[in-house]
Structure 1
Amino acid sequence: MTIPTQPAIELVKHVSAPRLTRSRIQHIWQVVKQRVSLPSRWRQVSVVVVGAAEMKQLNQRYRHDPTVTDVLSFPYGTDGGEIVLCYPQAKRQSAAKQVSLTSELDWLLVHGFLHVLGYDHEQAKDAQVMRPLEQAILAYV
């Protein structure tokens, strides 16, 4: 069996998300890969788009937080990972921040990709690495 040199990008929509396309996700992934080192064995990155109720359940199950969040990331070691985006939450956040929905989705994807790659922002020292990297990537998206 040959291992693909480029990880596959899978997009699964549990809700309507017209602004989020596979080609957009692939573009953002290409920019991320140019800026960070990628484990050589990566095979697949899945992006799952969900509604608020499903995201609330996932957040409760995996983070023990009963609220709706915007993005959850699940790294699969060196094989890839999964990013779960809450489309309604992205819409709310874009309106609250007064930015386009596309810009908010781009940020959430970059944020999710970085988490899958092992970046974190829970500690201040980690955030000092992750936040500027997000901005540097978004400048090229």
Structure 2
Amino acid sequence: MLLHVERACAADGLPDDATLTCWVKVALAHADSAPSDAAELGLRIIDDAEGAALNQRYRGKPGPTNVLSFPFEAPPGLPPEAAAELAGQLGDLAICAPVLRREAAEQGKPLTAHTAHLLVHGTLHLLGYDHLESADAAGMEALETVILAALGFPPPYEVSTDPTQHPIQAPHDE
């Protein structure tokens, strides 16, 4: 598995590329339709301005969001040999570092745990998982919880019993 990481903004405090790659590998290993070991995906860590521009352009929504997923789609009419070469392409993710930091602070989560959650969440979207219907959302959230537990993180959707803590919110990518 190959993860291409591009840090297009200040990404201080975020995990290194090797850690991010490990997290993606664990997410892929737990997915129902795990791709081959030759899978590739891109991760771009972006700022609020780029996040807002992408969110407006691709979702028609103002302001930045935490994670955006762009599943790979081969161009129509691609010759079979070229399509075979691209078979491992999963797509691209954009994680907005300032939103990630704000959400982690608001939710009382360590930045590392929230980063892992958004990366797992986005990776699952690249594999075709979604949360538009309640049954799909429940399944996706359960899988995210299993993956994050395998990575040593607490359940991402657990509501804190501490009244000073905000409940943990689902990623805002759909």
Across the two proteins, how many residue pairs are aligned to each other?
Answer: 135
Counterpart code for 2:100: A
- Structure 2 counterpart of 1:126, from 125, 130, 136: 136
Gaps of 5+ in 2: 74-86, 152-174
- Structure 2 counterpart of 1:34, from 24, 29, 34: 29
2:103 pairs with 1:93: yes
- Specify the SS of the correspondent of 2:150: coil
The Cα shift of 1:122 comes to: 1.3
2:43 pairs with 1:47: yes
Percent of matched pairs sharing the same residue:
35
Counterpart code for 1:108: L
Counterparts in 2 of 1:41 and 1:27: CA distance versus 1, 3 Å: closer
Supply the distance in 2 between the matched residues of 1:41 and 1:24 (Cα, whole angstroms). 17
Pick the structure with more helix per residue.
Answer: 1
Q: What's the RMSD between the two structures over aligned residues? A: 1.4
Larger Rg: 2
**Residue pairs, 1:1-141, within 5 angstroms:** 7-18=1-12, 19-36=14-31, 37-40=33-36, 43-77=39-73, 78=87, 79-141=89-151
Counterparts in 2 of 1:46 and 1:131: CA distance versus 1, 3 Å: same
Normalization by structure 1: what TM-score? 0.90
Q: Does the 8 A contact of 1:42 with 1:80 survive in 2?
A: no
Supply the distance in 1 between the matched residues of 2:72 and 2:16 (Cα, whole angstroms). 23
Supply the distance in 2 between the matched residues of 1:57 and 1:98 (Cα, whole angstroms). 28
State the match for 1:4 in structure 2.
none
Normalization by structure 2: what TM-score? 0.73
